[in-house]
């Protein structure tokens, strides 16, 4: 049962993000980020787990540092704008974007992200992977014209996530490096079209809900637990595999569609090199998704003769239906409109 103080902090966290999204000034955006940060700290900490307290402290220090840098860049941009040349203004915008990318966990500012995720439970992991990305992305929309800098971030995020994700045995770290890879895709879609970014973020959130719900239901955090637990329910196993393939962006599933739109948008705006790099290193992430799913299919474990019946909730069935059948509906929808 959800405790009352957690409900209050969840409402406050949502309010902070909404303040940032609906703001017309830099200062109110910063205030929304701070409200969001101060609200999520009690949600991350737990009396039962010392690792979550350590992760909470690391997250607070990192976000405070990024907020301080953001505040510094806002002050220099606002107060000194009349007296400085364009080069200094460009550098202050560069500092602002760096602090925002640190807040969302994009490489090479991702140093805190995997370590903090490793100490959290699945519900807090879901908040970190999805909701906490909204406000930084909206602020990044205001400075999305810094093409060269954002291109370097896209390339580094896709390369680092692909390479570092291969040797992981923790599912939380695998989803973290997957998130960094999707951040690269979302930034590349954001540079030219905000609507494609919004569609990409919605699809990514739906797939992440499905995967985290299944892992939370079975209480799985590592690969060995995954191999042992998936044999008890064949439906769980098939839905799990399909959602991971959708997260990797294979064509029959919904996860392919926003990547398709992003590649089309990038090639129309002559970003050919970024498209090739994104596709190449996404294949590496797809490799460790396939390794994870093939091992659940092919490794032989002792199975019970009768399948245990897990009752699926309506929301779980609905989200999986959207995730697995959404590609068909999206294709028809975009063909007719």
For the cut 90, the answer to whether the pLDDT of residue 130 exceeds it is yes
Instruction: Give me the pLDDT at residue 334, please.
Output: 65
For the cut 60, the answer to whether the pLDDT of residue 280 exceeds it is yes
The token pair that represents 184 in the structure block: 């690269």
Mean pLDDT for the stretch of residues 134-155 = 90
* Whole-angstrom distance, CA of residue 210 vs CA of residue 126: 10
Distances (CA, A) of 303 to 228, 241, 309: 9, 18, 14
In the chain, where the domains are located: 122-336
Distances (CA, A) of 62 to 128, 142, 143, 176: 14, 23, 22, 17
The token pair that represents 81 in the structure block: 């704008």
171-204 pLDDT, tens digit each: 999 999 999 999 999 999 998 889 999 999 999 9
Prediction pTM value: 0.91
Mean pLDDT for the stretch of residues 235-251 = 87
85-108 pLDDT, tens digit each: 565 677 888 899 999 999 999 989
* Beta carbons within 8 Å of 255's beta carbon, 6+ residues apart: 203, 204, 207, 245, 246, 247, 248, 249, 323
Instruction: Give me the pLDDT at residue 127, please.
Output: 95
The token pair that represents 187 in the structure block: 């930034």
The token pair that represents 140 in the structure block: 């990044």
């Amino acid at each position: 049962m959800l405790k009352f103080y957690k409900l209050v902090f969840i409402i406050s966290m949502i309010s902070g993000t909404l303040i940032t999204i609906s703001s017309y000034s830099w200062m109110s955006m910063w205030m929304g980020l701070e409200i969001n940060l101060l609200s999520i700290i009690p949600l991350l900490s737990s009396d039962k787990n010392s690792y979550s307290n350590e992760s909470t402290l690391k997250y607070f220090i990192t976000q405070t540092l990024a907020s301080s840098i953001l505040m510094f860049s806002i002050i220099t941009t606002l107060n000194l704008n009349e007296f400085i040349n364009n080069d200094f203004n460009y550098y202050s915008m560069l500092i602002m974007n760096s602090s925002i990318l640190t807040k969302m966990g994009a490489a090479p500012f991702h140093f805190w992200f995997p370590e903090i995720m490793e100490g959290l439970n699945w519900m807090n992991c879901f908040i970190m992977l999805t909701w906490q990305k909204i406000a930084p992305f909206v602020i990044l929309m205001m400075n999305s014209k810094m093409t060269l800098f954002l291109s370097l971030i896209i390339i580094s995020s896709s390369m680092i996530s692909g390479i570092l994700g291969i040797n992981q045995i923790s599912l939380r770290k695998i989803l973290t490096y997957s998130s960094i890879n999707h951040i690269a895709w979302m930034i590349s879609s954001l540079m030219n079209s905000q609507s494609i970014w919004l569609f990409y973020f919605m699809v990514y959130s739906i797939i992440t809900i499905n995967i985290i719900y299944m892992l939370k239901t079975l209480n799985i955090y590592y690969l060995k637990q995954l191999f042992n637990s998936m044999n008890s329910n064949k439906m769980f196993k098939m839905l799990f595999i399909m959602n991971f393939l959708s997260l990797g962006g294979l064509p029959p599933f919904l996860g392919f569609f926003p990547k398709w739109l992003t590649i089309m948008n990038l090639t129309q705006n002559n970003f050919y090199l970024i498209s090739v790099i994104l596709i190449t290193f996404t294949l590496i992430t797809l490799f460790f998704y396939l390794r994870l799913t093939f091992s659940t299919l092919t490794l032989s474990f002792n199975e019970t003769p009768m399948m245990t019946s897990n009752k699926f909730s309506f929301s779980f069935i609905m989200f999986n239906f959207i995730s697995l059948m959404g590609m068909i509906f999206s294709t028809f929808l975009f063909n007719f409109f």
